[in-house]
Amino acid sequence: MPRVIKRHVLSGITVKEAMRRQVINLSQSAPIDYCINRMIKYKINSVLLYNSDERPAGVVTKTDIMSAFYAELPIKSPAENIMVGPPLCCHPDDELELALDCMHQNGVHRLYVIGTDAAEVIGVLAYPDIVGLLYRYCRACNKGFIKARGSDPADEYRRMKVQDVMTGHVTACLQTDTLVTVIEELTKHRCGAVLITGAENKAVGVVSKTDLIVAYKHGVRADVSARAVMSKPVKSCSAGAKLSDAIQLMLLRDVQRIFIHTADPSQIVGVLSLSDAARFRSGSCHACTASRIL
């Protein structure tokens, strides 16, 4: 009896095909606001910190800075006070599939890529890099556009919809809630942004970790209302839209997530993140979903 091997779009791809070569780093003695400056300038979610021996010591993420804001830590405090370490690493020749599993199991959004010397960090692998690669591969695949066999329409692979992948639970706060409440909700639900609602529970804006660290840098108090720092309008798309179109929208707008609506754009029913898309190992259709992570 023939043995069936299930494959998907990541099969045989290595980390070096997806990683970014630019690594943003600072000394661990640098103040927290330097980390914020780097994150905003380079549109990244973490900064690698080196010790006095010029070896990787830890990582400061937007989550760490948000926590410092919540704790009212002076923004000139050394970044080493809030860093997490040592950084999780992989090698350029590792299978991308295994690297993605490592990120998922450890609850992190990036891995640092090291060379033959463990102190030599040569790149970063993050969810946007993986999803961008998935998107390019899936757009080049003809299985989502033509019938796999015969002429029966049932043989055609169905294009993935946003509703197939999105997270149905949406973390929300009122526009009158304080930033303290927003931070607590972000921490509790381990998400990157909360939806801000107004009258009749309609979406009026979003507060992300980026909004919070910018507020921290500018000296905004944590007891002000969410309305004072929220971004608007809410970036959203229809639940019935093609997953590939939603991914393209996120990549073009350089955002980590997009909110999902049905008929009324002000009624949000879900959220789609780049990590959601990466979990499914596909950016296009159901041709590759036999090996997805549930």
Architecture per CATH, domain 162-279, reads as: Roll (3.10)
User: Is 15-132 in CATH node 3.40.50.150?
Assistant: no
User: What's residue 291's pLDDT?
Assistant: 38
pLDDT score recorded for residue 9: 62
| pLDDT at 275 (0 to 100) | 85
**Residue 23: per-residue pLDDT:** 95
Q: What is the per-residue burial (b if ≥16 Cβ within 10 Å, else e) of 39-72?
A: beeeebbbbbbbeeeeebbbbbbbbbbbebbbee
pLDDT for res 89: 95
Mean pLDDT split into 10-residue runs, the chain, 294 residues: 51 89 96 97 94 94 97 97 93 92 90 90 93 77 48 55 89 96 95 91 92 96 96 91 87 88 86 84 54 36
- The domain limits of the chain are 15-132, 162-279
What is the pTM assigned to this prediction? 0.84
Q: Do domains 15-132 and 162-279 have the same CATH topology?
A: yes
